[in-house]
C-alpha cells in the first residue's frame, strides 16, 4: 500500500511574510462569502422574483402569472437550449434567448396574454393583466 509522511518540523514557527498575509486573508474572505452566500444579493433577487418567469426544463414557471396593468414582466432562460417568448396575438416577441438571457415586456393594457416558444411549441404560458384599482 501507499503511505505518505509529511515532515512538519520545517514549518513550525514559520510566519507568513506581510506580502503574503493580506492576499491569503482576502482569499479566505472570498471563499467564506462564496460558501455562505451574499445576503444583500439574495434580497435583491427575491424582490425581482414576483414579476419574473423562469424558463427551465422546457417550461415556463409560473405557467400563469397575474399582474396589474403597467407591470414589467421579465423572462429568464435558465435552460441549456435557446427559447423564445412570443405572444399568440403578436403583442410581444423576443429574439432567441440563450442561457442566462432575459426578455422584458411592460403590459400597458388589461387582458389575457397567451405566449409560447416558437422553437418548442409545446412550451406555453399565460400572463393575466388586471386593471389597476385606480382606473376602476
Q: Give the integer Cα–Cα distance in Å for 66 and 50.
A: 10
Which tens digits make up the pLDDT trace of 41-97?
A: 444 444 446 899 999 999 999 999 999 999 999 999 999 999 999 999 999 999 999
What's the confidence (pLDDT) of residue 58?
Answer: 97
Domains annotated for the chain, with CATH where assigned, are: 9-44 (no CATH), 48-135 (2.60.40.420)
For residue 41, what pLDDT is reported? 46
pLDDT reported for residue 50: 82
Query: Counting beta carbons within 10 angstroms of the beta carbon of residue 75, is it exposed (0 to 12), middle (13 to 18) or buried (19 or more)?
Result: buried
CA neighbor of 55 nearest in space, from 113, 112, 116: 116
Q: Which of 51, 129, 52, 62 is nearest to 89 (CA)?
A: 129
Higher pLDDT, 115 or 14: 115
Secondary structure letter of residue 42 according to DSSP: H
Longest dimension (CA), the chain: 81
Q: Is the pLDDT of residue 9 over 80?
A: no
Looking at the chain, the whole-number percentage of residues with pLDDT higher than 70 is 61
0.85 surpassed by pTM: no
In this predicted structure, what is the pLDDT of residue 27? 63
Amino acid at each position: 500500500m501507499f503511505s505518505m509522511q509529511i515532515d512538519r518540523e520545517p514549518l513550525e514557527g514559520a510566519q507568513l511574510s506581510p506580502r503574503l498575509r493580506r492576499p491569503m486573508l482576502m482569499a479566505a474572505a472570498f471563499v467564506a462569502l462564496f460558501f455562505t452566500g451574499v445576503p444583500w444579493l439574495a434580497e435583491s433577487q427575491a424582490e425581482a422574483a414576483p414579476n419574473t418567469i423562469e424558463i427551465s426544463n422546457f417550461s415556463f414557471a409560473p405557467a400563469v402569472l397575474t399582474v396589474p396593468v403597467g407591470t414589467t414582466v421579465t423572462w429568464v432562460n435558465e435552460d441549456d437550449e435557446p427559447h423564445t417568448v412570443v405572444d399568440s396575438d403578436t403583442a410581444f416577441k423576443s429574439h432567441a434567448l440563450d442561457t442566462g438571457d432575459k426578455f422584458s415586456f411592460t403590459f400597458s393594457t388589461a387582458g389575457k396574454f397567451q405566449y409560447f416558444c416558437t422553437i418548442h411549441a409545446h412550451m406555453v404560458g399565460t400572463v393575466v393583466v388586471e386593471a389597476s384599482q385606480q382606473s376602476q
